[in-house]
Amino acid sequence: MAATAPAGGAYLEAAGLRTFYIKKGSGPAVFLVHGASPGASAWVNWHPTIDGLAARGFTVWAVDQPGFGYTDNPDDYSIDFRVAHMQAFIAQTGVERYSLIGNSMGGYIVARLALADPERVHRLVVVASATLAPPGGAQTQEKHLEHVRELREYEPSLENMRKLTMGTLYNKALVTDELVRERHEMSIGKNREAERRRAAAPPVRPIHEELPSLRMPTLLVWGANDRGGTLEKALLLFQKIPGAELHVFDHCAHWPQWDHAARFNILVRDFLTSDDAADAR
């Protein structure tokens, strides 16, 4: 891939793949897991969060999943392998206790990680994950499926990536030439091939009926103007997780961590560091 990896990035081997990650800051560990839309990567999805949380006293690990960003393409394109890869990556870091933040499909992945290893997960933050949430009513489901179709019909070009990103963010001023270029570069080459292979992989297994067993404090963050995940999905997900908190941003689409970056970072910092009664669950 012609694109240059972001400064501060490094590689380690996880589940047999050369895996790219960005690590910044010092303090309690937080792992950031990006979504699955065209051009998704650790840097593209999370760089306002990486710097924001690192500056607020956390060790932030942002990881490119298999077939995304600068991480190798796998032989197995299933979501199960992406969960196993993230488990292997965390094991390679040697971190014993950590918090997880996942956006979109990344929210599904971090929920799977938390269900599998509840003793080591301190806090869980799920950001705009329609995939994790129950289906909802007919209109909600149709809106979600329409969004999925839009993503699958994407053909790489700067013009198409600008259009796609205009739908991802509510604040159109954030859709800069730099962001469009970075996201486009992450949607071509080996990552375009991986996207095609993922489309033929087995469908995601619903786990919303398992979510009531989550016991770590959980924060759900949603955008009121998310084109792919209505507020009905946010409320249904909220009702599935005992003691969860739900924060909804108005004038916000699918990436609250971008649309409301400063407020998002403060909200997450306060949630990750609070010592309230929820910890006794």
Q: Which of 104, 144, 147, 187 is catalytic?
A: 104
Residue 157 bears catalytic tag? no
What's the rounded Cα separation, in Å, for the pair 116 and 125?
16
Closest CA to 187 of 146, 143, 153: 153
For residue 74, give every residue at least 6 positions away whose Cβ sits within 8 Å of its Cβ, in sequence order, or none.
15, 17, 66, 67, 81, 85, 194
Per the residue annotation, which of 226, 247, 259, 260 is the catalytic one? 226
Residue with tokens 């196993």: 84
166: exposed, middle or buried (C-beta count within 10 Å: 0-12, 13-18, 19+)? middle
The yes-or-no answer on residue 208 being catalytic is no
Phi, psi (5° rounding) for residue 89?
-65, -50
Among the options 147, 247, 254, 260, which is catalytic? 254
- Tell me if residue 259 is catalytic: no
Residue 218's SS3 state is strand
Positions annotated as catalytic residues are 104, 226, 254
